[in-house]
Amino acid sequence: MATASSAFKSREDHRKQLELEEARKAGLAPAELDEDGKEINPHIPQYMSSAPWYLNAERPSLKHQRNWKTDANYTKDWYDRGKKVFQADKYRKGACTNCGAMTHEAKTCMDRPRKLGAKYTNKFIAPDEKIETFELDFDGKRDRWNGYDASTYSRVIDSYEMRDEARRKYQKEQQLKKLEEKNSSLEPVADKDSDEDEDEDKDGGEVDEAKVDESQQMDFAKVEKRVRTTGGGSTGTVRNLRIREDTAKYLLNLDVNSAYYDPKTRSMREDPLPDSNPNEKFYEGDNQNRTSGQAQEFKQLNIHAWEAFEKGQDIHLQAAPSQAELLHREFKVKKDKLKTQTKQDIMDKYGNAASGEMPPMELLLGQTERQVEYDRAGRIIKGQEKTVPKSKYEEDVFINNHTTVWGSWWKDHQWGYKCCKQFIRNSYCTGQAGIDAAEASADLMRANIERKEAIEDKPQGKEEKNLATWGSEVADDLVLDKKKLKDALKKEGERLREEKDERKRKYNVTYSNEVTQEDMEAYRMKKVHFDDPMKDFLNT
């Protein structure tokens, strides 16, 4: 029940508020005042329907959205450009040493640097500039047009108007000139009354003025058209828009094998009438635009930008067109300069046949005082020396005490110096002594090779050795006693049996470090060789 009553109360208050606003609009109720005591315009929404809970205001308002830090000291004035304050007669201490003004230092001086500053000459003292400081508000700091004088734009308007006036005047003069040439070329067929002639002249003049007025409409080729955007197309410029009296390009030649017309782009690249008189044609195909005007220059600029970028130069025609244009101009200037320099060098070296300098008459007539003798076959016997062809390399230049050049001597598929017979280039010449030393060294090497070959060719005799058992070497003069050898074999056999069975080892062992030749022979004979294929049959 309380909720319904509160809702009813709010509706009642809202109705009263609407009635009060209507009465204020009609002038039957006093106007409402804001916090500052100013009258509120009822047509401008000044209050919110409900204020935030943290504002604690008696009634809803927009005070919490206003800038409370507004200061009356903020100004919208701007600097007085070029204003001078004081003109001094002599240099003052602390002033600019270059111009003599007190408002800046020498490093921030905008005048031309003088050879001797005003501090030393005490002449031509510059006046002091007017220094101003403003405290701008938030909008004033960010105002792009703050301080702009709108009257300066009148100069821009005047320049455009002067250009348009000159264009109209020139076009009218051209049209009148063409009309005069046409009238002078026509021959009168019959005499007519003077009144009729005057009427015709007036009519002709009126037609010409109409033509002149029509020719001023030069912007018919630039029409803004919306094509393919979210709102129906993107704003673009339609080029080559014809006037409606002209024949469409696809109707110039109705032959199906003539130039192809693309209806989507409205382009016809080839000439639809290639066999007709070029002086009578007004359309020669869209390719004509690519080979006329500045199209070729733009093409060369593109090619230069691509080639320069491939060679590592930081250049991009779309990102920095001005830089690309300047670099292309510098490139053309350098290219022309190099071409001129190369041409001049060739002319200085070989001469210029097209110049006005005439060669000697002896060369032109082929006459000379030198006598030449020929044989019956027409060969020259005497009188003409053999010409030696010149090389681009230096000739007859001797280095490192050599008397001949490198390459004057050939041996064993190697080039060398003939004076010292050395194969090493840039070596020091040793003369005849070096040749003798090289020959002695070669003879010694040859003798050593022959000696080695002789030794290798001599057959070596095989030395017969008295080998003991299992290939052991035995001295040639060794003589073994058979009885002692038999006893040594018996003793070695007992030792081997004791090693196999330790139970047969005796307590009292007699040891002697004297080993005879028979003992060694018995040891070799009883020793088991593991690589012997018959070792398993020794004790059987």
For residue 214, pLDDT over 90 is answered with no
**What is the dihedral sign for C-alpha 153, 155, 159, 161?**
positive
- CB proximity list for 286: less than 8 A, separation 6 or greater: 240, 267, 268, 269
The residues that bridge with 473 in the sheet, in sequence order, are: 467
For residue 268, pLDDT over 80 is answered with yes
Q: What does the block give as tokens for 36?
A: 């500052």
Collapsed DSSP state (helix, strand, coil) of residue 344: helix
DSSP line for 456-508 = HHSPPPPPP--B-GGG-B--TT----HHHHHHHHHHHHHHHHHHH-GGG--SS
Q: What percent of the chain has pLDDT over 90?
A: 21
User: What pLDDT is attached to residue 5?
Assistant: 45
Q: 58-72, 280-294, 390-404: lowest mean pLDDT where?
A: 58-72
Question: How sure is the predictor about 521, in pLDDT bands with cuts at 50, 70 and 90?
Answer: confident
Closest CA to 404 of 419, 422, 389, 415: 419
User: What pLDDT is attached to residue 116?
Assistant: 93
Collapsed DSSP state (helix, strand, coil) of residue 33: strand
286 vs 198, higher pLDDT: 286
421 vs 58, higher pLDDT: 421
Closest CA to 46 of 139, 36, 10: 36
Question: How sure is the predictor about 409, in pLDDT bands with cuts at 50, 70 and 90?
Answer: confident
Asked whether the beta carbons of 469 and 480 are under 8 A apart, the reply is: no
Taking CB atoms within 8 Å and a gap of at least 24, the contacts of 223-226 are none
How far, in Å, CA of 318 to CA of 315, rounded? Answer: 9
Angle in degrees, CA 443, 446, 448, rounded to 5: 110
User: What pLDDT is attached to residue 511?
Assistant: 63
Question: How sure is the predictor about 4, in pLDDT bands with cuts at 50, 70 and 90?
Answer: very low
How far, in Å, CA of 86 to CA of 58, rounded? Answer: 58
User: What pLDDT is attached to residue 91?
Assistant: 94
pLDDT digits (tens, 9 = 90+) for 422-433: 888 888 888 888
Find the mean pLDDT for residues 99-120: 93
Q: What does the block give as tokens for 480?
A: 């073994």
**What is the dihedral sign for C-alpha 264, 266, 268, 272?**
positive
Q: What does the block give as tokens for 495?
A: 């030792």
User: What pLDDT is attached to residue 17?
Assistant: 72
Strand intervals (E) in 380-482: 380-382, 409-411, 414-416
Asked whether the beta carbons of 328 and 300 are under 8 A apart, the reply is: yes
According to DSSP, the β-strands at 373-374 and 380-382 are antiparallel
Asked whether the beta carbons of 94 and 88 are under 8 A apart, the reply is: no
Question: How sure is the predictor about 392, in pLDDT bands with cuts at 50, 70 and 90?
Answer: confident
pLDDT digits (tens, 9 = 90+) for 149-200: 888 899 999 999 999 999 999 999 999 999 988 888 875 544 445 555 555 4
Token pair 């909008």 in the structure block, residue: 139
Give Cα 282 distance to the centre of its chain.
Answer: 43
Question: How sure is the predictor about 67, in pLDDT bands with cuts at 50, 70 and 90?
Answer: low
pLDDT digits (tens, 9 = 90+) for 356-372: 667 777 677 766 677 78
The residues that bridge with 414 in the sheet, in sequence order, are: 411
Q: 68-77, 84-93, 316-325: lowest mean pLDDT where?
A: 68-77
User: What pLDDT is attached to residue 400?
Assistant: 86
Question: What letter would DSSP give residue 242?
Answer: P
For residue 282, pLDDT over 90 is answered with no
Distances, alpha carbon 445 to alpha carbons 368, 430, 440, in Å: 63, 21, 9
Of these ranges, 376-380, 459-463, 536-540, the one predicted with the greatest mean pLDDT is 376-380
Residue type at 238 in one-letter notation:
V
For residue 335, pLDDT over 50 is answered with yes
**What is the dihedral sign for C-alpha 144, 147, 151, 154?**
negative
How far, in Å, CA of 417 to CA of 427, rounded? Answer: 9
Question: How sure is the predictor about 462, in pLDDT bands with cuts at 50, 70 and 90?
Answer: low
For residue 221, pLDDT over 90 is answered with no
How far, in Å, CA of 91 to CA of 117, rounded? Answer: 10
Find the mean pLDDT for residues 299-307: 91
Taking each helix axis from N to C end, the angle separating 321-350 and 295-310, rounded to the nearest 10 degrees, works out to 90
DSSP H helices, 186-318, are 194-215, 287-290, 295-310
Asked whether the beta carbons of 104 and 129 are under 8 A apart, the reply is: yes
Count Cβ atoms below 10 Å from residue 402 Cβ, excluding itself: 20
439 vs 61, higher pLDDT: 439
Count Cβ atoms below 10 Å from residue 391 Cβ, excluding itself: 7
Q: 159-168, 253-262, 417-426, 526-535: lowest mean pLDDT where?
A: 526-535
For residue 89, pLDDT over 60 is answered with yes
For residue 351, pLDDT over 60 is answered with yes
**What is the dihedral sign for C-alpha 503, 509, 512, 518?**
negative
Q: Rounded mean pLDDT of the chain?
A: 76
Asked whether the beta carbons of 409 and 416 are under 8 A apart, the reply is: yes
- The half-sphere exposure of 74 on its side-chain side, counting CA atoms within 13 A, is 10
User: What pLDDT is attached to residue 39?
Assistant: 53
Q: 55-64, 187-196, 397-406: lowest mean pLDDT where?
A: 187-196
Distances, alpha carbon 5 to alpha carbons 13, 14, 18, 33, 176, in Å: 12, 14, 20, 31, 91
User: What pLDDT is attached to residue 110?
Assistant: 92
User: What pLDDT is attached to residue 7?
Assistant: 43
Closest CA to 481 of 492, 489, 470: 489
Per-residue buried b or exposed e for 50-70, using 16+ beta carbons within 10 Å of the residue's own CB: ebeeeeeeeeebeeeeeeeee
User: What pLDDT is attached to residue 2?
Assistant: 43
Collapsed DSSP state (helix, strand, coil) of residue 280: coil
Asked whether the beta carbons of 248 and 240 are under 8 A apart, the reply is: no
